[in-house]
Amino acid sequence: MTIVHNLGFPRIGASRELKFALEPYWKGETSRADLLKSGAALRRRHWQLQAGLDLAPVGDFSFYDHVLDMSFTVGNLPERVQDFHGDPLDNYFRVARGRSAQEHHACCGGVAAGEMTKWFDTNYHYIVPEFTNATTFRLDASRLLEQVAEARQQGVNAKPVIVGPVTYLALGKAKDGSNKLDLLDGLLAVYAQLLDTLAAHGVEWVQVDEPLLVTELDADWQYAFNYAYHQLKVCRVKLLVATYFGQLEENKYLAANLPVAGLHVDAVAGPDDVRPLINVLPPHKVLSLGVINGRNIWKTDLTAVLDWLEPLAQQLGNRLWIAPSCSLLHVPVDLNSEQALDAEIRSWLAFAVQKLDELQVLAKALREGRAAVAAELADNLAALAARRASPRVHNPAVRQAVAQLHADMGRRNSPYAQRAAEQAALLQLPLYPTTTIGSFPQTAEIRHARSAFKAGTLDAAGYQAAMREEIARSVREQEALGLDVLVHGEAERNDMVEYFGEQLEGYAFSQFGWVQSYGSRCVKPPILFGDISRPRAMTVEWTRYAQSLTGKPMKGMLTGPVTILNWSFVRDDQPRSVSCRQLALAIRQEVLDLEQAGVRVIQIDEAALREGLPLRKAQWQHYLDWAVEAFRIAANGVQDRTQIHTHMCYSEFNDIIASIAAMDADVITIETSRSDMELLDAFDHFKYPNEIGPGVYDIHTPNIPSREHIVQLMKKAAERIPVARLWVNPDCGLKTRQWHEVVPALANMVAAARELRLAA
């Protein structure tokens, strides 16, 4: 009989309950007991929603990040927090965000937060494990054991979920340049303790996540996998090694022959892996197939899945398990919450709860035959057919515009050096010009006005007046601080992607479609369901108003086509590159309208360029070719005197720096503060041709950087980048911070820039 299981469930709650439990706790407004109670309530509810599964995940819930959880489970704490001996939860949040709940006031110091980067090619951020050659490990199984006990009390057949040892090592950073694999033996000893401890508590199966197996592995890392699981095979639990996000390809034989009880593969991302894998899989081993897309929200073609799954079920019998392709962390919780979503588009979708329902339909069909689910299959086929035939999906005019794209649309009129001279004469900026990335705090007043406007209790004129007042406040604060290039603060924007999607044809929006980005930060990706066009200008009036309040340059702020694509739930009926070109044309129209309105500095954020990179290097160039082309189409229709900025955050850029240079933005701002400027190592070997602003203020922590620290970081940058091409800026937008944090941090940033100018 086919086993049905899940790799992980969204932890934030259908109404973002986790967010609203964490943030008051961090502010000292609620107690530790309140937070723990909220976590237990969420776990209980989520296990109830998974009640139909044969095995449900346990340990997938986290108060911040599952990789950070693993660091604490194996006792790998950064040295800077090892002397804190109070509440372990406080120490956990020190690593996550630089402060514990006991240190919530900006005046109370804090420590450097752990570096944060993207989880493979998703928009989820994890806290990077830190290693040195002196790193030791020590087991703390309390979190997992407590959750296993909770699950058992609620009748859950628990399958603990942990990050695998090889992936954990690979995701971490050796702070002293040592070889991470030298730590493998010590790490495996703790993993073995953990697995035997779980076995002693009656656990039968443990899911060990090793998504590293879908990447290209050199001989050392291939050996590490074999070595690790041969060391762990004596443990008294059954291991299900889970891979996802891509194809195993040349790692099929390695994965199939690890000495474990089962293997999970992503049959959505890697359908061509399945048959060859079965041919090399030992006959005693379970094969779990991820047959429902865990990363997107479209209904599955259940009939098509059954067509290829039924013969495998007959061949494998009870060795076949089925599941989503990956953890459902990457999709919203429940479509039933969406009462306001367009009914037609809603009928095409499946969120986490509905994906588990789809799994149950597949399982029942495999166990009892298709006749047992005939009605469900008929409904599914009808929804799929309606989506394919809908005139809302296809726009011939957009298709024609994309077909007429040509190379000249992606080229500036003159090379950078010529443009830079013209821009310098026009803008008259000092050395080390200061700016911010775009957004300022989303205050209670902003949120209240937005809610009242949506509810109909505030009319359009009242809403516009409220937003104008917030914009004016942002401009006043920036002028008082002495920033050189200003922004309007984005008070009117709910989200940097959703705001634009709401004004583009071809997008739909959920009300409760939240997914976790990191910690308490949630995003609500728009749903790209059809061909994209821009019916009217989206930002011009707000930017024009902001510019009228100041004599300093005002940046026009846009989100780039690649980021809008990568941070949306994207249609799956055409190549992503086609959708990206459609978006590029829409943003290009907006750029040209801003320029026509007199805006001389325009920032087009491509924060998600790196995360869209395929996991295998062999596929990188194809993606980079169309992604860079899309940015250039969006940005490069302007005159030489218009300065184009772009921004990228929290990714490893060193391996794609040539493609970033090929975007030909006049100025790029990037995250470097958490990595202590390590991201600029790329410039030791690559002479970046244009201007760059290495972020010196980590906005994802409440810590306020000192003037001295910023000066130190910029001096490191000046060792690699000529001073005349350096900007000083935060590493990301400031919407998640509070004004009482932002003002002193920016004051220190401006003071640092002035000190640097005097020393230049």
Residue 330 among the catalytic residues: no
Q: How far apart are CA 666 and CA 603, in angstroms?
A: 10
238-242 and 205-209 beta bridge pairing: parallel
Is 517 labelled a binding residue? no
Three-point CA angle 172, 175, 180, nearest 5°: 50
Is 732 labelled a binding residue? yes
Is 605 labelled a binding residue? yes
Question: Edge-to-edge strands of the sheet including 691-694?
Answer: 555-559, 601-605, 643-648, 667-670, 691-694
Is 479 labelled a binding residue? no
Structure token pair of residue 483? 């920033």
670: left (phi over 0), alpha (psi -120 to 50) or beta: beta
Is 510 labelled a binding residue? no
User: Nearest CA to 673 among 115, 108, 171?
Assistant: 115
Structure token pair of residue 495? 């989200």
Is 327 labelled a binding residue? no
Is 522 labelled a binding residue? yes
C-alpha distances in Å from residue 198, one per residue of 145, 235, 239, 258? 7, 10, 12, 21
Structure token pair of residue 165? 């040892």
Q: Which residues touch 125 (CB under 8 Å, ≥6 apart)?
A: 65, 116, 117, 118, 119, 517, 518, 650
Is 439 labelled a binding residue? yes
Position 150, amino acid: E
Is 123 labelled a binding residue? yes
CA 314 to chain centre: 39
Structure token pair of residue 451? 């809610």
* Dihedral sign (CA 720, 724, 729, 732): negative
The DSSP line for 627-647 is: HHHHHHHHHTTS-TTSEEEEE
Burial label, 275 (beta-carbon count in 10 A; 0-12, 13-18, 19+): exposed
Question: Edge-to-edge strands of the sheet including 262-266?
Answer: 3-4, 320-324, 286-292, 262-266, 238-242, 205-209, 158-163, 56-58
Is 521 labelled a binding residue? yes
Is 567 labelled a binding residue? yes
Structure token pair of residue 432? 């080390």
Catalytic residue from among 66, 264, 645, 700: 700
Q: How far apart are CA 485 and CA 427, in angstroms?
A: 9
Is 611 labelled a binding residue? yes
Residue positions counted in the chain: 760
Is 741 labelled a binding residue? no
Is 678 labelled a binding residue? no
3-state secondary structure of 362: helix
Q: How far apart are CA 233 and CA 257, in angstroms?
A: 12
CA 353 to chain centre: 21
Q: Which residues touch 744 (CB under 8 Å, ≥6 apart)?
A: 106, 704
C-alpha distances in Å from residue 430, one per residue of 151, 602, 665, 750? 61, 19, 20, 12
Eight-state DSSP code of residue 81: G
Q: Which residue has the tokens 């000066």?
A: 711
Is 18 labelled a binding residue? yes
3-state secondary structure of 756: helix
3-state secondary structure 721-735: CCHHHECEECCCCCC
Is 107 labelled a binding residue? no
Asked whether the beta carbons of 19 and 12 are under 8 A apart, the reply is yes
Is 202 labelled a binding residue? no
CA 51 to chain centre: 29
Eight-state DSSP code of residue 655: G
What phi, psi does 433 have (nearest 5°)? Answer: -60, 145
476 sits in which H/E element: helix 460-481
User: Nearest CA to 219 among 227, 210, 207?
Assistant: 227
Is 451 labelled a binding residue? no
Is 236 labelled a binding residue? no
Eight-state DSSP code of residue 690: S
Three-point CA angle 215, 523, 518, nearest 5°: 55
3-state secondary structure of 290: strand
Q: At what angle do helices 142-153 and 32-49 cross, to 10 degrees?
A: 50
**Residues annotated in the binding site for Zn(2+), as ranges?**
647, 649, 671, 732
Known binding residues for 5-methyltetrahydropteroyltri-L-glutamate: 16-19, 118, 123, 521-522, 567, 611
Annotated binding site for L-homocysteine: 437-439, 490, 605
Q: Which residues are annotated as a binding site?
A: 16-19, 118, 123, 437-439, 490, 521-522, 567, 605, 611, 647, 649, 671, 732
Which residues are the active-site residues?
A: 700
Binding residues for L-methionine: 437-439, 490, 605
